[in-house]
């Protein structure tokens, strides 16, 4: 690991000011991704700004009836918060599907959004990688790509975003609040992460020096018809091959509103509003669900090791929609998929 200097920030202003002045700075929160990457020399910050003492560790009601989750609220605290469990069980379920109890105790809301891809080549400075070293190429496209993306890829990068939490936030249409050298702004979660295009080294639309202060959940009515279905190589403590977050509002047997986000398949949580619209005002039937899945996956592109994900995603979408419509969400403890 490289040597670095360390500053414990005592205010958001101080953190932003110190970071803005120096491109080699990184914020550190739970450290569960940054320290990992530093141990592999993928990240080599000359200076770390410890933001864990900032007063961003509260979950508060918003005026509109939503919740504002401070950036330093741990994944554990968010998942078990009674208000989140009650009003946004999809988020609680997605967080509990990820990582381990130890990691969730350290991992934070802000850090989780900014965790980087688990692409094997990205993690190995002995290999080229456009995301790690722009312009060196993407060995994953012709190499090992079992965990890679099938949607929204580019010829420069086929990495996925590994977060489970972010997939639920995408379905819940959260807002990411940030503070930076130019003041505060709010970024809709759908615009927060980006597709790789020809700049795969840029994961998000956050600018250097900007700090996430909170994630805001708008008021929602999805606490009965939801599910987070995560498929992976082992049943716990493994990243998603494919995951599906579904939130439905039902009126009788018909779907009044549908939200669906996919994880493990793209450089960002994947939404397809056109596909969701196929459900609006329609009865919740298997045929409809298949039509939704086909629409979402119509442009999916597999590579040698990950083509199986297209079929897996199709079935996962249908199953997740059935679970949500029936009001029988996937349990994150009993791993049987019903």
Ligand X SMILES: Cc1cc2nc3c(=O)[nH]c(=O)nc-3n(C[C@H](O)[C@H](O)[C@H](O)COP(=O)(O)OP(=O)(O)OC[C@H]3O[C@@H](n4cnc5c(N)ncnc54)[C@H](O)[C@@H]3O)c2cc1C
Residues that bind ligand SF4 (CB under 6 A): 117, 119, 121-122, 129-131, 138-140, 148, 157-159, 200
Q: Give the up-direction half-sphere exposure of residue 302: CA atoms within 13 A in the CB hemisphere.
A: 12
The three-point CA angle 148-152-156 to 5° equals 70
Provide the minimum distance between the beta carbon of 232 and ligand SF4 in the complex, in angstroms, as a whole number: 19
The piece of 30-38, 80-88, 133-141, 284-292 that touches ligand X (CB under 6 A) is 30-38
48 phi, psi to nearest 5 deg: -115, 135
- The closest of 71, 69, 52, 72 to 60, measured between CA atoms, is 69
Quick check: 290 binds another protein (CB under 8 A)? no
Provide the minimum distance between the beta carbon of 324 and ligand SF4 in the complex, in angstroms, as a whole number: 31
- State how far the Cα of 110 lies from the Cα of 115, in Å rounded to an integer: 9
Quick check: 112 binds ligand X (CB under 6 A)? yes
- Cβ partners under 8 Å of residue 251, min gap 6: none
Q: Which is nearer to ligand X, 93 or 108 (CB)?
A: 108
Provide the minimum distance between the beta carbon of 86 and ligand SF4 in the complex, in angstroms, as a whole number: 38
- State how far the Cα of 25 lies from the Cα of 16, in Å rounded to an integer: 10
Residue 236: Cβ within 10 Å count? 13
SS3 291: helix
Q: Which is nearer to another protein, 77 or 297 (CB)?
A: 77
The piece of 140-148, 157-165, 308-316, 319-327 that touches ligand X (CB under 6 A) is 157-165
Q: Which is nearer to ligand SF4, 87 or 309 (CB)?
A: 309
**Which residue ranges make up the site for ligand X (CB under 6 A)?**
26-34, 36, 51, 71, 75, 98-99, 103, 106-108, 110-112, 114-115, 162-165, 211-212, 239
């Amino acid at each position: 690991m490289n040597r670095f200097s360390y500053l414990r920030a005592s205010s958001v202003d101080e953190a932003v000011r110190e970071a803005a002045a120096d491109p080699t700075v990184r914020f550190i929160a739970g450290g569960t991704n940054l320290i990992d990457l530093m141990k592999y020399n993928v990240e080599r910050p000359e200076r770390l700004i410890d933001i864990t003492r900032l007063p961003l560790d509260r979950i508060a009601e918003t005026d509109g009836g939503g919740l504002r989750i401070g950036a330093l609220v741990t994944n554990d605290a968010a998942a078990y918060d009674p208000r989140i469990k009650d009003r946004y069980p999809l988020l609680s379920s997605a967080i509990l599907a990820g990582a381990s109890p130890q990691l969730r105790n350290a991992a934070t809301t802000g850090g989780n959004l900014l965790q980087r891809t688990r692409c094997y080549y990205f993690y190995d400075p002995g290999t080229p990688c456009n995301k790690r070293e722009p312009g060196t190429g993407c060995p994953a496209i012709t190499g090992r790509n079992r965990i890679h993306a099938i949607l929204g890829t580019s010829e420069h990068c086929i990495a996925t975003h590994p977060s489970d939490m972010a997939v639920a936030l995408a379905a819940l249409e959260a807002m990411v609040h940030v503070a930076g050298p130019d003041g505060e702004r709010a970024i809709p979660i759908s615009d927060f992460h980006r597709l790789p295009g020809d700049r795969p080294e840029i994961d998000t639309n956050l600018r250097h020096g900007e700090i996430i202060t909170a994630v805001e959940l708008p008021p929602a009515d999805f606490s009965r018809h939801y599910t987070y279905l995560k498929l992976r190589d082992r049943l716990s403590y493994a990243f998603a091959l494919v995951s599906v977050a579904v939130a439905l509002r039902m009126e009788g047997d018909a779907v009044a509103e549908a939200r669906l986000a996919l994880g493990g398949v793209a450089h960002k949580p994947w939404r397809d509003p056109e596909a969701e619209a196929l459900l609006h005002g329609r009865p919740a039937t298997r045929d409809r669900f298949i039509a939704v899945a086909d629409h979402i996956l119509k442009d999916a592109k597999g590579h040698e090791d990950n083509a199986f994900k297209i079929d897996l995603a199709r079935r996962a979408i249908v199953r997740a929609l059935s679970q949500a419509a029936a009001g029988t969400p996937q349990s994150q403890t009993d791993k049987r998929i019903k």
